[in-house]
Amino acid sequence: MPTDTTNERQVSQSATTRVLQSLDPPVRDEFGIDVLGCLFDGLNEAKHLVGRDHAFLVITIGLMEFVFRAAQVGIDPMTFGDKQRVGWIGQTGHSRRRYLERRFGAGTVQRVEGAVKEDTAELKPYGVVVLAELAPLLDAIALVNATATSPDPQDWAATPAKGDLTFSELVTSLVVEPEFTDPDEVMVSLDWAPQVRKLLEAHTPDLMRKYDGALYAVNGDSPDAVSQTANSIIELLDRLVRELAPDDDALQWCLEAGDGSLVYQEDDRVLATKRGQFQFIVHMICGTADEAGELRGTIAVAAVQVRNAAQKLKHADRGLQDLPACRRIVQAAEAVLVIFHHFSMLREDVTPELASRVQGLDERLESLGPQRLALVMGDDTPLA
């Protein structure tokens, strides 16, 4: 794994930026790939954090540095993926490459291409380490989203299983490429159980028995495996709510949220719904990491869907024919808990140093002025 420290690091311009700056301005403008230099420069500023801070924070710092550099020179950061601009790199027959070679010569094109490849090769090992850490979270988010948006919440056959997802498999395939002389240094876990256990140990250690019971039942040979597994999942989720979302706290938050669907009336009492309780838990764990709220809502909906489906299977009494659906319910429950685990870690990893750095980047962006900020935000109209 790449190593670097804050004290030792000497961040320099990327090879791409250096080569582009050596070209005459009209030639450089014709290539039109300064945005790649900004991207490489920004990611170089964050690579020393790899292996030390949560991968989500590493990406956040790197992309903020990239956006700042792009806006600073008046480039829309979203053009870095423009195939018309960059699609010729590594493609000898590309029409734009042939045009650039006719205008400026094959040697100049090869110099620029070589710099881009050099930067890519330099950053790739860091990128794989980051993806290896993020892959379980990305897989979990994909499964939670599929669970929450399934047309039929009870039709678990239509919901992707964890094995259908590809982020972890993608990273695994990258790790075995030749440039990684010691693939064991990059750990890619396809098993969510260790992360779920870490979460439960940190917040509700008494629930470990319910989780282990669900795994034992769903992977065992009991003829009553479905009912046993479903019961363990229901108790795991219900007790998680009781432990992390006391009735009064959850209700107060739901009322302050101003969403009538998060509460209901029972006799003369107002209570938080299951979704309201889960949304409160998600807010406590993930709130600072997702202020927009879209992921928070998705996680809460998925948790309710999982509980409802487990409740239905518990009483269906159809034997082992429901075991495939039961396994998917367990995976979906694990996915919710894996997301909780990562965001718990993320909040712990936001050190004063990193918080100060992010704040400093925000201030630098604001200092660019309304027109440059409008460019960063993808708005063609300068801000007033």
Query: From first to last of its 384 residues, what are the pLDDT tens digits of the chain?
Result: 444 444 444 556 899 999 999 999 999 989 988 989 999 999 998 888 887 788 888 888 888 888 888 888 888 887 766 777 788 888 888 999 999 999 999 999 999 999 999 999 899 888 888 888 888 888 888 888 888 877 665 555 455 555 554 566 666 666 555 454 444 445 455 578 888 998 888 888 888 999 999 999 988 888 889 999 999 999 999 998 888 888 888 899 888 888 888 899 888 889 898 888 988 888 887 764 444 457 778 888 889 889 988 998 888 778 788 888 888 889 889 999 988 888 877 776 667 777 777 777 777 777 777 776 666 665 543 333
Cα distances (Å, whole numbers) of residue 165 to 2, 136, 141, 217, 351: 27, 10, 10, 24, 32
Residue-wise over 101-110: b if at least 16 C-beta within 10 A, else e?
Answer: beebeeebbe
What predicted TM-score, i.e. pTM, was given to this entire model? 0.72
- How many helices (H) does the chain have, and how many strands (E)? 17, 2
> How far apart (Å, rounded) are the C-alpha atoms in residues 42 and 61?
8
Contact (Cβ atoms closer than 8 angstroms) between residue 211 and residue 197: yes
The pLDDT assigned to 126 comes to: 87
The pLDDT assigned to 190 comes to: 58
